[in-house]
Amino acid sequence: MNICHVLKYTAPARDAQGTQRVLEAIARQQKKDGHNIFLYINKDSIIDVGPVVDRIPIDCDVVHYHSEMPSAYGHPENKFPWIVTPQGGGTDTPDIVEKYKNYCSHFVFVSKFCANIYNSSCYIYNCADSQELIFTDKKDDYFLWIGSTDWGDEKGLFSSILTAKRMGFKLKIAGGGKNQDIIDYVKSHCNDKIEYLGFVNGKKKAELISGAKGLLMLGAIPDACPVTIIEALASGVPVIASSAGAYPEMINNRVGFIYNDPVGLRRAIASVNKIVPQDCRNHFLSTFSPEVVTKKYMVAYKSMIRYSDVRECIDE
């Protein structure tokens, strides 16, 4: 199949570019599976998955837009079969839902939580390239918070610091942002147990994740399907998360904890060593690996080509 992926960015993905890393993981697996891949991305990109193009090839079977609609690129909606993977959705307001509800037959959401907002049954989870990560069953004595610091406590940054101080555990904070006030606040709370690392990427990031005894996702924002959780599971790291957004459907009691109150959070922190790293890895392999995810996208592509509809693409 000839597949064209579309997204405004320069490859390879860097820093906190989660959507971009998902695109590259999917495209790389599709190439491995024998498909012809075209990338409608910035011309200065360097990537070995397929040619970078400035127009959709005429023999393209399906166009896969990541995050944005065809109209964002001035593309007609009736020339090629196309789908969109909206990486948001969890925070969509009623007016946004109303605006896009007529396009749901083209939408493949990244979690059941997001699909439900649009009364859709089509969702396929994000994935991560395990070759860029490190799995180990030996963990160091620290918990990890990783993400853009600009989110603040919407992603549980301040709550993680407060919890670490109250319970006395080691916490490493990784990620940068544009809001210097937040970064200064984080630095002001650092001590011999709380460490701020700034941006991490590549091998350093992989080592940091794999060494953590647990990933903290304590925010209240309704996350769609954060790649950070997927990367942690691939590395054999348990996840402790609030009940917001898609967290409960991504995390079961073999790979982490969903808490609903402060007591539940403290119990989860205290019980994290009971989680077996290989169980986390197995959950990644069966649910969030590129092999699993790309097979489901092929079902969505074929459904769109045959029926102009992907609403029967149900993730199970």
Q: Within this chain, do residues 242 and 296 fall inside the same structural domain, yes or no? A: no
In a domain, 44, yes or no: yes
3-state secondary structure of 84: strand
Q: What is the pLDDT of residue 300?
A: 96
H or E stretch including 4? strand 2-6
In a domain, 51, yes or no: yes
Q: Report CA torsion sign: 127, 132, 134, 140.
A: negative
pLDDT digits (tens, 9 = 90+) for 151-210: 999 999 999 999 999 999 999 999 999 999 999 999 999 999 999 999 998 899 999 999
Q: Within this chain, do residues 50 and 86 fall inside the same structural domain, yes or no? A: yes
Nearest one of 277, 220, 227 to 250, comparing CA atoms: 227
Q: Within this chain, do residues 278 and 150 fall inside the same structural domain, yes or no? A: yes
Q: Within this chain, do residues 144 and 279 fall inside the same structural domain, yes or no? A: yes
Q: Within this chain, do residues 185 and 105 fall inside the same structural domain, yes or no? A: no
In a domain, 313, yes or no: no
Give the residue-averaged pLDDT of 235-243. 98
Side chain identity at residue 125, one-letter code: Y
Q: Within this chain, do residues 67 and 46 fall inside the same structural domain, yes or no? A: yes
Contact of 106 with 83, CB cutoff 8 Å = yes
pLDDT digits (tens, 9 = 90+) for 134-168: 999 999 999 999 999 999 999 999 999 999 999 99
H or E stretch including 183? helix 180-188
Distance CA 306, CA 148 (A): 40
In a domain, 39, yes or no: yes
- CB-side neighbour CA atoms (13 Å) of 8: 7
Per-residue pLDDT at 110 exceeds 90: yes
Side chain identity at residue 93, one-letter code: T
Q: Within this chain, do residues 21 and 69 fall inside the same structural domain, yes or no? A: yes
CATH of the domain at 172: 3.40.50.2000
Total domains in the fold of the chain: 2
Q: Within this chain, do residues 111 and 50 fall inside the same structural domain, yes or no? A: yes
Q: Within this chain, do residues 175 and 260 fall inside the same structural domain, yes or no? A: yes
Main-chain phi, psi angles of 151, to 5 degrees: -70, -25
In a domain, 314, yes or no: no
In a domain, 101, yes or no: yes
Range of the domain at 44: 2-127+289-307
pLDDT digits (tens, 9 = 90+) for 258-287: 999 999 999 999 999 999 999 999 999 999
Q: Within this chain, do residues 134 and 283 fall inside the same structural domain, yes or no? A: yes
Q: Which of 74 and 316 is assigned the larger pLDDT?
A: 74
In a domain, 312, yes or no: no
* pLDDT band for position 315 (cuts 50, 70, 90): very low
Q: Which of 315 and 190 is assigned the larger pLDDT?
A: 190
Q: What is the pLDDT of residue 93?
A: 85
Q: Within this chain, do residues 119 and 157 fall inside the same structural domain, yes or no? A: no
67 token code pair: 């995050």
Q: Tokens 């075209």 belong to which residue?
A: 38
Q: Within this chain, do residues 171 and 259 fall inside the same structural domain, yes or no? A: yes
Distance CA 118, CA 103 (A): 10
In a domain, 230, yes or no: yes
Task: Tell me what the pLDDT averaged over the chain comes to.
Answer: 95
pLDDT digits (tens, 9 = 90+) for 38-54: 999 999 999 999 999 99
